[in-house]
Amino acid sequence: MIENVITLTQSLIRCQSVTPDDDGAQDVLKKPLKTMGFDIHDLPFEGNGGSYPVKNFFARLGDTGPHLCYNGHTDVVPVGDPDKWTHDPFGGEIVDGIMYGRGTSDMKAANAAFVIAVQEYLSEYGAPKGSISVAITGDEESEAINGTKRVLEWMEENGHVPDAALVGESSNVKEMGEEIKIGRRGSLHGFLTVHGTQGHVAYPHLADNPLPILAAALDKLSQHIFDKGSAFFPETNLQITTIDVGNTATNVIPSEGKAHFNIRFNDRWDAGKLEQDVRKVLDSVTGNYTLETSCGAESFLTKPGEWTGLVAKSVEKLCGRKPELSTKGGTSDARFFKDYCPVVEFGLTNETIHKVDENLRIDDLTLLVAVYKDILIEFFK
């Protein structure tokens, strides 16, 4: 088992699948699935507002319920300056029990772990009394327009909606078993422009400087208390990410000032209600502004129940610690599954994801195979 999961992970790492390129990564995953008897459906999508075509596939073993679906992505973020890596970012090199490479933690190794877990399950227990499926996308790290969202639409149209979903995102911080994700906060982007009148700094009465008003508005937004959190979520928080004027002269009052901010919000809000609350804050400062918003994701929560309990039980059994039911972190493709079935996330540690020298511990990888196998055993009992 150790050799198989290591070999499969290394084969995936050696595909330079920097989003949205695939470089053969999905073919690497499909090969063992085909050998196990999975029906494979290639699902490339483009258009729909996306700026590039995306490779995806759906594979299913069995055609009855209960139906468990694993979701993952094979695309990775760029490596940055490769000279800053101490190991080949696409080499999958192992040194002192640690494998290095882009995608080791996020999340090619988890994909490999699930495939090997299925292989071991079938070898030991035979065909499940139900269905196992694998939904893999190639644009989770980028636009996420022509990936999991559209794959799920296809699954629904073709009778493949699962009863439960497991997403292999790196859910732990430093040690295996610390957390399973049962939800995620929403993300709202705000693009604020405060308008004024351009003029000479020596004649301020002939101009209208928007910058003090912009500063006041941002200060009020920063101090605004949206809520005090909820049962499973921390409080909603707003962070200013840019303040831009574009003024190259020191003696000119600019005509406008711009700022961008991001709000990570809990299940007390949806994007529309949150925008209304932001506008109330801005209206208390000025009426001479323009606000555009973009929702990256709505918040969601899989309420603790049979599915979350099953995963938590397997994690605690194999990892030796009771996992926190967490909603921390950014967004993931689990947000698309929440409209179809209960979904949880469990994978490796995330302390090196997107960093130089991204890596995983081999012991963690083999442990993840064991956890996934136990989840399969419990699910199909």
CA angle centred on 236, ends 324 and 19, rounded to 5°: 75
Sign of CA dihedral 151, 152, 153, 156: positive
Sign of CA dihedral 152, 153, 155, 156: positive
Q: How many helices (H) and strands (E) does the chain have?
A: 9, 19
Query: How many whole angstroms from its chain centre is CA 203?
Result: 51
Listing DSSP states for 218-234 in one string gives HHHHHH-------SSS-
Pick from 30, 111, 120, 101: which is nearest to 376 by CA?
120
CB half-sphere exposure, 315, CA atoms < 13 A: 26
Give the Cα separation of 262 and 239 in Å (integer).
Answer: 5
Residue type, 147: G
Specify the 3-state DSSP secondary structure of 182.
Answer: coil
DSSP alpha helix (H) spans, the chain: 2-13, 25-35, 109-125, 148-157, 211-223, 271-283, 306-319, 334-337, 362-379
**Phi, psi angle pair for 124, to nearest 5°:** -90, -35
Catalytic sites, residue numbers: 75, 140
Strands 179-181 vs 324-326: parallel, antiparallel or unpaired: parallel
CB atoms closer than 10 angstroms to residue 341 = 17
- Residue 31 pairs in a beta bridge with none
CB half-sphere exposure, 33, CA atoms < 13 A: 27
Query: How many whole angstroms from its chain centre is CA 167?
Result: 9
Give the Cα separation of 178 and 141 in Å (integer).
Answer: 24
